[in-house]
């Protein structure tokens, strides 16, 4: 095979080839580490969704939803949970990271309480997840793109099962963080639990610390010494 032919084959197959599990560098050694790229999701978001189609079809199918993300902890396990207020397709979500497989799993709960599971990888701030156990005859994909500290998109794509053709977008939701101007640069204290942007204070032995959500607040209150020790160690490593 010539170099040109090999390059053409790579170009053709590259869109559907397996993606790198994580960016180059040390691999996450815990679920919390694996989920740190999604720290910016913590908080409340205003989402505007529309179906794919003509301008008239998009306008007719337009909807808004509020998505609230927070950290959840149980022992050494950690995950991100979301609730959708007035969500058209989803009511709840859980995003987890598998250290062993170096993959992400997103479990979505529909308004009818049925569960949809998607598994995939993160590359260049784009989380690409394929559905497992989906309907026969159709491949389903959900893509979440982190655009900015206060803006992200998620879209739902489908194609005929096993097709060599690309996925076709069915709908998309653009979300902006509530109460945060688009041009504003994220800044402030670091959450002592997750490493995200601290937005609320907690105290221990008369000293103040910051956390980013109620999940981190509860985790800190349950075991403050653990997170204080981790933060001190992290600070030493930065020096």
Q: Identify whether the C-beta of residue 1 lies closer than 8 Å to the C-beta of residue 7.
A: no
User: Tell me: the pLDDT tens digits for 145-161?
Assistant: 999 888 999 999 999 99
pLDDT confidence of residue 7: 39
User: Tell me: the pLDDT tens digits for 172-209?
Assistant: 999 999 866 554 555 678 888 888 888 888 988 888 88
- Prediction pTM value: 0.78
Q: What is the mean pLDDT of residues 209-222?
A: 86
pLDDT confidence of residue 2: 47
Lowest mean per-residue pLDDT among 20-29, 102-111, 114-123: 20-29
Q: What is the mean pLDDT of residues 102-118?
A: 97
pLDDT band at 138 (very low <50, low <70, confident <90, very high): very high
pLDDT confidence of residue 181: 57
Write down all domains in the chain, each with its CATH number in brackets. Answer: 28-177 (2.40.128.20), 200-238 (no CATH)
Higher pLDDT, 19 or 55: 55
- What is the maximum span of the chain, computed from C-alpha positions, in angstroms? 70
Q: If you average pLDDT over every residue of the chain, what do you get? A: 86
pLDDT confidence of residue 21: 40
Question: In sequence order, which residues have a C-beta less than 8 Å from that of residue 105 and are 6 or more positions away?
Answer: 95, 96, 97, 98, 117, 118, 119, 129
User: Tell me: the pLDDT tens digits for 159-171?
Assistant: 999 899 999 999 9
Residues of the chain above pLDDT 70, percent: 85
């Amino acid at each position: 095979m010539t170099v040109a032919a090999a390059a053409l084959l790579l170009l053709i197959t590259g869109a559907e080839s397996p993606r790198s599990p994580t960016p180059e560098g040390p691999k996450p050694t815990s679920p919390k580490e694996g989920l740190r790229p999604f720290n910016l999701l913590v908080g409340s978001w205003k989402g505007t969704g529309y179906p794919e189609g003509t301008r008239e079809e998009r306008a007719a199918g337009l909807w808004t939803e509020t998505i609230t993300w927070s950290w959840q902890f149980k022992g050494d396990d950690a995950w991100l949970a979301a609730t959708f207020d007035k969500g058209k397709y989803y009511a709840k979500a859980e995003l987890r990271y598998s250290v062993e497989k170096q993959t992400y799993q997103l479990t979505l709960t529909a308004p009818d309480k049925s569960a949809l599971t998607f598994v995939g990888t993160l590359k260049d701030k784009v989380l690409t997840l394929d559905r497992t156990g989906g309907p026969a005859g159709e491949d389903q994909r959900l893509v979440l793109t982190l655009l900015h500290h206060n803006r992200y998109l998620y879209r739902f794509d489908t194609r005929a099962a096993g097709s060599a053709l690309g996925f076709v977008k069915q709908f998309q939701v653009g979300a902006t963080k509530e109460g945060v101007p688009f041009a504003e640069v994220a800044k402030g204290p670091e959450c002592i639990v997750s490493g995200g942007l601290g937005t609320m204070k907690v105290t221990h032995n008369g000293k103040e610390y910051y956390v980013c959500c109620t999940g981190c607040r509860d985790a800190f209150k349950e075991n403050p010494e653990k997170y204080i020790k981790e933060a001190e160690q992290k600070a030493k490593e930065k020096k």
